[in-house]
Structure 1
């Protein structure tokens, strides 16, 4: 099931659109479903696509971003968020009056966008109803480990993360109690990911149990107690989107 945030960008600068699109899609679970270079063109596309997040420039030739927001206000989903995207701070008051979700100055840095997206995630979590139908509990797979000739059975919930041992050319499992076991030599990342939907690859050498992830900070993943001091779990750009998807689906 796709859980990407669907975004739409409006800016009369082709370069500005491409820069923001690249930052969003390279570093966040965002799919830019459409772009437009003027307000009138964007109106119809936005109404049809119903994106989750809209980035609009303010100063555009045929229609300002403020006029665009006024026109689509009652034609998009109630939880659609609009971000003013401009080089001029003077529009901040107008953005607040229009109840824009946030304000992003040009040219944006990856750090600026990361802070904005974190506020978006936090806001999204507050919109989840407090009373929800309890989903059926996923069946946790049993993992059979071969460690020094012994066969050990583990529940998926006991696993904190998997690490590829480059010296042995073998995957090993690190448990929440601190024990480390070697997987059978024929095990690979696909084998591990098939054990449980809770196992998410974050790097070519690491797979984490998403249920034990406490925090994702830039390119690093931190676990809950008692493994909160582990700092080796690096997040590769190739796997960051799937990790963020899994984390915000918890």
Structure 2
């Protein structure tokens, strides 16, 4: 099946970025092709493009996401799938009264997004194509050092960081840039590596301390010379707790 064209409607930029990150692993099924910071902005985009699914924040300044969803379901856009997102449970009944596919509570976890994707694609017929090959795990990551290739063994990597347009591989002694993307590395690293943030992948064997941070998030102190601190975003807290057996 072709990817569903998705629009994110959320007034807070960090929340839009977080949702994009959560949907990234499912880009073959749901492709984000638009973002709006208000219902008014969303209406302009919806008039120009036939979106298949709209992720709607319930509470926004001006017209609410719930009001926009209800308007869409009573208009020519009735066929669009709606997924509401809120920090509160109280709007769930209203959401399903306008035939919402799902209602997500913040903070949204990767597992919960996977369930939403399953609901969005239920009953859809996939287009047959070549079977995907499983990506071969890396034994080392090629990095750049003074214009030459420096292979860094997997077991020496403490963490990997995206900084602006560059991906850095960090060891105990320092860090080097690589041409791999975070997504490519995430798919080709062993299970001892976990994604903790949209900009970080961590080698769990180099985690020295797990420190509570604000709003239920964490910081991971790394066993390197700099005692680096790596953030854990709200979307990845559950996974970190599972890996390190936190209560």
Equivalent residue, structure 1, for 2:17:
18
Unaligned 5+ residue runs, structure 1? 129-134, 139-196, 206-234, 240-250
Unaligned 5+ residue runs, structure 2? 138-183, 189-247
Please show how residues 186-225 of structure 1 align to structure 2 within 5 Å: 198-204=130-136
Equivalent residue, structure 2, for 1:112:
112
Deviation for aligned residue 1:236: 8.2
Aligned with 1:116: secondary structure? helix
CA distance in 1, matches of 2:10, 2:99: 20
What is the CA RMSD across the aligned residues, in angstroms? 2.8
Distance 1:105 1:99, change over 3 A: same
What are the superposed Cα offsets for residues 199-220 of structure 1, whole Å, 9 maximum, x if unpaired? 4222137xxxxxxxxxxxxxxx
CA distance in 1, matches of 2:112, 2:61: 26
Distance 1:14 1:43, change over 3 A: same
Equivalent residue, structure 2, for 1:95:
95
CA distance in 2, matches of 1:7, 1:83: 10
Rg larger in 1 or in 2? 1
- What count of residue pairs does the alignment treat as equivalent? 141
Equivalent residue, structure 2, for 1:4:
3
Structure 1's consecutive aligned runs of 4 or more residues displaced over 4 angstroms after TM superposition are 235-239
Aligned with 1:201: secondary structure? coil
Distance 1:3 1:23, change over 3 A: same
Distance 1:77 1:95, change over 3 A: closer
What are the superposed Cα offsets for residues 81-105 of structure 1, whole Å, 9 maximum, x if unpaired? 1011111100001112111111011
Distance 1:19 1:200, change over 3 A: same
TM-score normalized with structure 1 length:
0.50
Equivalent residue, structure 2, for 1:76:
77
Deviation for aligned residue 1:27: 3.8
TM-score normalized with structure 2 length:
0.51
